[in-house]
Structure 1
């Protein structure tokens, strides 16, 4: 009598049953290998458009959600209140919600095509749908975004460590880079557990900051409209909602298209709510005088305790983003360039560190450059082109 895989695994207790289960698993692996080899021979025309299931998961749904949310909530959340102060609260909320739907749509495109190719990275799926030129354009866009983000995060965390522990910026950056790079090298499972813990702590900090700011809120400071900063808030919102490069790794880690789709949807809704509340809290208190790194303004209200909280949030937010982006770029190098793990890891984390220690340490400018070039191309333009190319091929 046919039963589902889950039930079948629970009922098999005899040696014959275990032998039968092993044969079934071998047949599934053989079928998947045949499909992949056919797809490789046919090239772009052989692309399969229905999602497949990866046999073995390595992370839980909570860990997957933590990786995606942690990748998003990084430097973007610190810059959103400042960008919002240039347009006012109502326009900023409108831009944020619009950017969320745009980025969620392109993220689901990435998931669909990555799942149809067995969890392929973004560069690989671009190459199979748009040809070699498309693949290299995606790889370079993602690499530029990752390189700039890792460099900016290293510089930013150097400042945070210096403020918290009284050491030099360079020493703080070196300590952060070393510890975060080890987590990245250990892979997706270690990253998922690390980010899950930090995400819970970060959520508590966001709630704490909101509670600290509400007694000082004044609606008149936030309810104004300016249009000259619209482009800036749009760019920051797109950067703040970018986690597309991590989606293939999360799909392979979960092993289920349906579950990954649900997690991806939550991974855009949750940060958007956090961003909206966080942004509104600062605008209601500081209005047009909101500083570039919003959390630093807490010191003016609460002194030393405000300074501590104001540095802990960037510490956790930037760390989770560093891990997520570096992990995805490491997988990108392994798959697209055919590198071994150590070489892919070194190419991901070493060049940004070299550039930092050579003297390139402007956090805001590096982050803006990465967002305006790599993010827009990799997370918006190319996913839409991949979707259109698939429609034309059909």
Structure 2
């Protein structure tokens, strides 16, 4: 999984490929459209894609493809609910395709623009997801937004650990179990890396991780094509309605870079082009995801595993890809943890007891902040050791936390801030997304709690 940013107010959680960031309203970042396109890809594409063929196995190749398209377009629409826009020409350009693209380009005003206009004189940095929550619902709104970001980021971090442990075990199966790799190797490494506070020091590893993802996808597709004889024989197109929520949850998880939206736009030198850059990137990713999921399922059928790299043959090429992925992700795990650390440290720093203790005892602040980082790493490592399956876990995270963060909150914020200025049918679209997100998250939670 690529590392999305958190929703706190600290400027460190910014796009990783940029040397310059956007500042307060009126100031602009230095990112070109090409750099921003790269940031969008880095933010969205990650290890979740390697679970897509398994989701297609559950739902069927046609249902899985439609789920990817629906999840991608819905996420794009909700991203556009948050970001700034002042152009009306795009409505005319896409009018012939409204039904196909579910009208997600038809916004004239949005939450972020409205909010920043009101707090322009008070703001020292670009508006964040947490700002939107506080503007709409006060302190409770900020807490809710940050908790959802924290939990969804924690889910992504746990998925990293599961992925690394299972892939290392598949290569070195005689050494120790997946849980053994998580505790014996990953835990000490991650505790040491938790002391690195600068994202810029870790960004090369994030880029390397995405390069490894692309290489892994290419090798998987190469192996898939070699297995194609009668690819659609004994391959189901649709496995029933009950399988759709599972596959859609995986698909939503694969578009988890939602929290980066506002930071990515703020980083651009020409922010008016952000809509096009974001749309082009997401549409391209949708096509790649659908092709990858279909190819994986058609190649392996009912033997498709929840991490498709585990289906690869036991040769040096596959082993190199798996180990390369594991090394890269081990070093980008702190990037996934960064928003978690920021939120926890901000709450710890605002504690009156901690502030008083820090003033009276030298070194308590440094010790407390680093102990909180170590504790969070240990907690997530323990959680990862109890998760039975990668595919089921990312579907659960996608259908609950990611659905609330990506669908429910944007629609809720948009209705709260600019709902009165929208036409009835646009409000109905937002209400539809809000209702769908709540029902989908509720279904995902109930399904997870029911005995299997």
Establish whether TM, by shorter chain, passes 0.5. yes
1:68 to 19, 37, 40: 40
**Deviation string for 1:333-372 (max 9, x for gaps)?**
6778877998788756741433424774415365444333
Please, what is the CA RMSD of the aligned residues?
A: 3.6
1:386 matched to 2:413 = yes
Match of 1:194 in 2: 205
The Cα of 1:65 is off from its aligned counterpart by 3.9
Listed one character per residue, the Cα deviations across residues 267-287 of structure 1 (whole Å, up to 9, x for unaligned) are 423332221121111111112
1:106, CA displacement in angstroms? 0.8
Question: Equivalent of 2:294, from 271, 276, 280?
Answer: 280
Tell me, in whole angstroms, the C-alpha distance in 2 between the residues paired with 1:257 and 1:372.
Answer: 31
**Separation in 2 of the partners of 1:210 and 1:239?**
21
Distance 2:371 2:399 in 1: 25
Shift of 1:98: 1.1
Partner of 1:177: 190
TM-score, length-normalised on structure 2? 0.64
- 3-state SS, counterpart of residue 83 of structure 2: helix
Paired residues of 1:126 and 1:138 also in contact (CA < 8 A)? yes
Aligned-pair CA distance for 1:238: 0.8
Kept in 2, the 8 Å contact 1:76–1:239? The answer is yes
1:354 to 379, 391, 404: 379
Answering whether residue 83 of structure 2 is matched by residue 111 of structure 1, we say yes
Match of 1:159 among 152, 159, 166: 166
The residue that corresponds to 1:41 in the other structure is none
Aligned residue in 1 for 2:237: 224
Which residues in structure 2 correspond to 1:18-97 (within 5 Å)?
52-57=25-30, 64-97=36-69
SS in 2 for 1:220: coil
1:129-148 residue pairs with structure 2 within 5 A? 129-148=136-155
| Residues 244-285 of structure 1 deviation map (CA, whole Å, 9 limit, x = unaligned) | 112233334445523543443344233322211211111111
Alignment of 1:270-349 (within 5 A): 270-299=284-313, 303-305=314-316, 307-308=318-319, 311-312=322-323, 315=326, 318=329, 322=333, 325-330=336-341
The TM-score, its normalising length taken from structure 1, stands at 0.72
Q: Supply the distance in 1 between the matched residues of 2:347 and 2:79 (Cα, whole angstroms).
A: 20
In 2, Cα distance between the equivalents of 1:367 and 1:176? 24
Contact 2:220 2:296 in 1 (8 A): no
Q: Kindly tell me: are residues 66 and 171 of structure 1, through their superposed partners in 2, closer, same or farther at Cα, counting changes over 3 Å?
A: farther
Aligned to 1:233: 247
- Cα 1:316/1:384, change in 2 over 3 Å: farther
How much does 1:319 deviate?
5.6
User: Which 5+ residue runs of structure 2 have no aligned equivalent?
Assistant: 1-22, 85-110, 117-124, 356-364, 422-452
> What do residues 195-244 of structure 1 show as CA deviations (whole Å, max 9, x unaligned)?
33433343233223212210211222435321131111111111111211
How many residue pairs match? The answer is 339
- Specify the SS of the correspondent of 2:59: coil
Q: Which runs of 5+ in 1 are unaligned?
A: 1-28, 33-51
